[in-house]
Amino acid sequence: MIKYDFTGKNVIVTGGSMGLGKAICEEFAKAHANVVIADINIEEAKKTAEELSKYGVEVLPYKVDVANYDEFEQVINEVNNKFKKIDILINNAGICQSISLIDMNLEKIKSMIEINLNGTIYGCKAVLPIMKKQNYGKIVNLSSIAAKLGSANISVYSATKAAVLELTACLAREYAQDNININCVLPGIIRTPLWENMLNELTDNNIDKKDEVFSSFTNGIPTQRPQEPKDIANAVLFLCSDESKEITAQNLGIDGGQTY
C-alpha cells in the first residue's frame, strides 16, 4: 500500500459529504491534509467533518451550490484567506438520472448540466487564479466511464461527463507552465448513493430487484467485479502527489478494464 504524506496541504472536495467524495476526503485526512468538504448538503458535510476529525487534521464543512458561481468563488476565497493557499481542488459533485431524453423534463436537464459541467468549470475558474499566483496546484475533475461508453437513457449525463474530459485537457495545457497539474478520473461502476438513486429509478424502488439490476451492469466488467470508493480515492491521491508531477491533461479510468 502506498503511503502518501500531504502534511501542510489544503484540499477542497466538492460533494465530499458522502459516496466517492467522502472516501476521497477520508484518504486525504489519513494522509495528513487539511480538508474542506464543500457540499450543498451542509448537515451531511458537518457529520462527515466530525467523523474525519479523528485523523488530527482540520476538516471543515462549507455549504456550496457548485452551480452558483458567486457562492463557489466566495467559499474558495474564504478558504484561501484562512489557509493562505489552496493546493488541491477535487471537482467531484455530480448528479445522474437514468431516463430517456424525451421523458426527461427540462429542469432535470438544466440541473445536470449546471452541476456536472458548469460546476466543474466554476471550480476551476475560481481556484486557478490562486494556484497561478502561488505557482502550484493540483486539480482532479471527476468524469465517468459514461463519457466513453455510450448507453441508452444516460445521454445528458454522458454528454456532461464527456465535456469534462475536454475541459480538463484544455485547461491542463493552458496552465502547464504555471506548475498546475489538471487531470481527470473516470470512475467505473460503484454502488454509491448516486447509483442507489439510479437503481431506485430503474426498479421503481423494488428492493428485491435492485441487486439483480446492479449485477446486470457489472457483468461486462473484465475483472468481473465492481469498484469501491477507495479505488477512486487512491487514484485521486496519486494524481495529487509529487510522484505524478509529469502527469497532466490525462484521463484515468478506474473501471476494471471497461474503457481504455
The pLDDT tens digits for 81-106 are 999 999 999 999 999 988 999 999 99
What does the pLDDT average to over 94-123?
96
69-to-122, 138, 182 alpha-carbon distances in Å: 6, 20, 20
What does the pLDDT average to over 17-32?
97
pLDDT of residue 131: 99
Average pLDDT value over all residues in the chain: 93
Please state, in angstroms and rounded to a whole number, the distance separating the CA atoms of residues 138 and 172: 10
pLDDT band for position 31 (cuts 50, 70, 90) = very high
Please state, in angstroms and rounded to a whole number, the distance separating the CA atoms of residues 97 and 112: 8
Whether the pLDDT of residue 24 is over 90: the answer is: yes
Whether the pLDDT of residue 70 is over 70: the answer is: yes
- Determine which one of 4, 62, 122, 157 is catalytic: 157
Q: How many helices (H) and strands (E) does the chain have?
A: 9, 7
| Residue 136 annotated in active site | no
Q: What is the pLDDT of residues 184-237, one digit of tens each?
A: 999 988 866 666 676 667 677 777 777 776 676 677 888 888 889 999 999 999
pLDDT band for position 120 (cuts 50, 70, 90) = very high
Whether the pLDDT of residue 143 is over 90: the answer is: yes
What does the pLDDT average to over 7-12?
98
Q: Which domains does the chain have, with CATH numbers?
A: 10-188+228-253 (3.40.50.720), 189-226 (no CATH)
DSSP, residue by residue, 57-120: S-EEEEE--TT-HHHHHHHHHHHHHHHS---EEEE---------GGGS-HHHHHHHIIIIIIHH
pLDDT of residue 2: 79
Worst-scoring range by mean pLDDT, 76-85, 163-172, 175-184, 251-260? 251-260
pLDDT of residue 214: 65
Q: What is the pLDDT of residues 127-141, one digit of tens each?
A: 999 999 999 999 999
pLDDT of residue 207: 72
Q: What is the pLDDT of residues 241-260, one digit of tens each?
A: 999 999 999 999 999 998 88
What does the pLDDT average to over 161-166?
98
